[in-house]
Chain A
């Protein structure tokens, strides 16, 4: 077991290093850097950035250095001082903008994950046990629809329906009165009142996928000899179901965290843009469009790092649950 853990941790560290390099390369990709677009903006407004101050800014941000030195400065700054660089667009340190947004993204994703499980587990079990029943067909059909509708379309449609027919104002995670208020019970209630819509949208496709996995797995298990044996020994149908086959079929719930997390973060980005939630999504989009490279790169880095760490946790959890995994 310790060997397995050590192996996974080393591998995760290597992946994290690669992720940071890719994040940095992505922000280096656009032709020119932030200063070119800044100079362009200044020229548009009639002002002019003289070459002396341009060179001064370049030296200050290390933009005149080759890319690997820039990368080294960037990554050591993050690791040693928690300094993610400066957001040119907001004129603030990136770390000030980052953590609030990431916290909300994490909250949204975790709540969605829990809701996805709470929905998919009972529905999956039901449609496996009562295969080809009416509800099974309904769920399977809804599952396909859930997989086929892009999340942004679903958010737009729900937003339209809610504002048109229920007269609700949707979008955001807080009512205007609470946006800048300190945390309190009332603010938490307000958050819950706003959170359900994005959670519902985000969990749709995940739930649909997980129901299919759960259903298929449980159907496989239900016909295995050990189930017959238990039944022949007179175990009650409910007790039998939850004590053996369901436990075996649960494996995918843990093992899919690895790919559910990237999927969830991806979906959260788009849904947040549509519903203008104060998560990483809208800020990442605007940072990319404005070539605010340190901000955009930090978001991509943190989102990827969280996914990689989440995968590690799910791997360890799975190894703890299912000894067979450790010896592969």
Chain B
């Protein structure tokens, strides 16, 4: 009843604004930040690709074809006629071998005379979606499963780079999430202790953070990552890499949490809750945490791209994830030598998703941070 009288005199749109909760207000503000809003969709799309990698990729990550080593990317073309004279809505050209007169090497070039029809939802290699559901349809692929379709070219073993990049999305994007989760738990716990209790606990946590921040990260990560035994199970390596990355990652989150705790401690509503006889746990979890969750979400979003870049850099140096695991960094390691690059510049292509993902996450995080305090 009181709500109705309080907002009764306002016009409908104003009334709606007043009735919106905190999250509704944050979303309204966030919508206005166009760049962040659309970046949000890109981030969602990238995670969707990671989730449905087997379906989105034309091939599996380890399918190789020794007949097409270092073949250049094909263009996806429209309206062509195949050998039988049938119309192909979408098609790719085949390859032919050419002898490089200078380097005296065999090289693949696009053969315009060959036409291989390409379709959506075609039958290809069988796979298990989420490791459970057997399926064999792929989002895009050659109609004839044996026809060569390499939209991003192939690597030194004749593996399709596009498929490998799509499969790599899963590892590269999830390592950010897992790492941030570990950092978040540590950051909230230690930052909360530091901000809420103060005193020597605060001093200890702050000095630890200062110390961790003063070590150059890459040499530290390199030292720790190099300690992971070579023959360890890939899944365990993945786990240890995220732990190593979180070792530094939690410090930023702890600072945000501590700062929020310190500024909220003296707020009237916290004091009121305490005077009302709420227990300490209740004050923290029901009154303080909800009012800075949005700030945490922003910090977390901004922490993910740093993790992705770190994993990519470590794997690129050869001390992070290693083949047969496929991540963007592992793929980019193939592009390390100038020789490989001059022969096959398309090995750079896995760098594109890295840049796009990092940019989109940064924009998204900036947008959330700006919207995080809707009452200002």
Contact = CB atoms under 8 A, between A and B. Distances in A.
B338 A262 contact: no
A156 interface: yes
Interface residues of B, number: 39
Given A15-B210, A19-B215, A269-B218, A152 B313 contact: yes
A274 B351 CA distance: 15
A266 B215 CA distance: 9
Given A148-B362, A150-B354, A267-B218, A262 B213 contact: yes
Contact of A262 (B217, B222, B309, B358): B217
B214 A160 contact: no
Contacts of B220: 22, 26, 300, 304
A29 interface: yes
A30 B227 contact: yes
B24 interface: no
A285 B317 contact: yes
B216 A148 contact: no
A147 interface: yes
B259 interface: no
B133 to A, nearest CB: 35
B338 A163 contact: yes
A19 B338 contact: no
A274 B336 contact: yes
Contacts, number: 128
A311 interface: yes
Contact of B355 (A30, A148, A308): A148
Contact of A300 (B210, B223, B359): B223
A303 interface: yes
Interface in B325-373: 332, 335-336, 338, 341-342, 345, 348, 351, 354-355, 358-359, 362-363
Nearest to A19: B215
A29 B312 contact: no
B9 interface: no
A304 B215 contact: yes
B213 A27 contact: no
A291 to B, nearest CB: 8
In the A-B complex, list the 4 residue pairs whose CB atoms are closest, starting with the nearest.
A29-B227, A266-B218, A26-B223, A288-B226
Interface of B: 210-211, 213-220, 222-224, 226-227, 229, 305, 309, 312-313, 316-319, 332, 335-336, 338, 341-342, 345, 348, 351, 354-355, 358-359, 362-363
21 contacts: A18-B211, A26-B227, A144-B359, A144-B362, A144-B363, A148-B358, A150-B309, A150-B312, A157-B348, A160-B348, A261-B216, A262-B215, A265-B216, A265-B218, A266-B219, A267-B218, A269-B222, A288-B222, A289-B319, A300-B219, A304-B214
